[in-house]
Amino acid sequence: MATPGQRWLVALSGGKDSYGLLALLLDLKWRGMLPVELLACNLDQGQPNFPKHVLPDYLAAIGVPHRIEYRDTYSVVTDKLPHGSTYCSLCSRLRRGHLYRIAREEGCSALVLGHHRDDILETFFMNLFHGGRMAAMPPKLMNDDGDVMVLRPLAYCDEKDLARFADAMRFPIIPCDLCGSQEGLQRNAMKAMLDDIEARMPGRRDTMIRALANVRPSHLLDRKLYDFAGLATRPDETP
């Protein structure tokens, strides 16, 4: 629940998802349904050819308070990882750390991200296939330090709907020249797999996202979640 007087930091990358997120939050505020102050934030990570003027010009034009933060994480990522490696994991960790810091500096109680249904499913299968664990991205999460809530209001939104909305709104989209241009990413493989499943069996993405909210620990194998060792048959109570 949003508490009146709170301040939320809205991460804005310049992609269709974060533009759609900001538009949704602004509409809720206009309708009086979101009694919080919004601060849009773009983390300029030093990617080559990044058009620095696009986001501040757009945010100023629509009258949204914002902060543009420059941190050259691009050089850090390309220096730390060997040529040909995928950058997503390290890039994401560096970006998230800076966003938490900015949220604290700006007195924001929440960091709002534009991850959608397809992002969550892709993350689930990446964890399943490559991490050996069952985990995704929850719509609401407290950070490790316990001082910033992470919110994902678009968790149930179809990526294609967000793309159509972005086209209709004519958002000034900024492509990612860091990880988005790399070939062979695990996330791209998960996206292709899900596209193939959806083509063969329409509606499976909706079924999968519902499954993540319908977990039965007693039908899995995690002994930390369910006391399999303590299971016992009931004694025969027949006289």
For 121, half-sphere exposure in the C-beta direction (CA atoms, 13 angstrom radius) is 26
Residue 102 has pLDDT above 60, yes or no: yes
Q: What's the mean pLDDT in 147-169? A: 97
Counting residues of the chain whose pLDDT is more than 70, the rounded percentage is: 86
Q: What's the mean pLDDT in 164-182? A: 79
Exposure class string for 33-72: b at 16+ Cβ within 10 A, else e? ebebebbbbbbbbbbeebeeeebeebbeeeebebbeeebe
* Weakest-pLDDT range from 96-100, 154-158, 192-196, 221-225: 96-100
Residue 149, classed as helix, strand or coil, is: strand
- What pLDDT score was predicted for residue 183? 44
pTM of the prediction?
0.87
Contact 28, 56 (CB under 8 A): no
- What pLDDT score was predicted for residue 86? 59
Contact 51, 19 (CB under 8 A): no
Domain regions of the chain by residue span? 7-215
**What top-level class would CATH report for the domain 7-215?**
alpha beta
Q: What's the mean pLDDT in 120-142? A: 95
Return the structure tokens found at 105: 């500096």
Residue 174 has pLDDT above 80, yes or no: yes
Q: What is the pLDDT of residues 190-236, one digit of tens each?
A: 999 999 999 999 999 999 999 999 999 999 999 999 999 999 988 76
**Element spanning 114, H or E:** none
Beta carbons within 8 Å of 217's beta carbon, 6+ residues apart: 225, 226
Q: Residue 177 — pLDDT band, cuts 50, 70, 90?
A: low
Residue 87 has pLDDT above 60, yes or no: no
6 closest CA partner among 41, 34, 31, 33: 34
Burial of 207 (C-beta count, 10 Å sphere; 0-12/13-18/19+): exposed
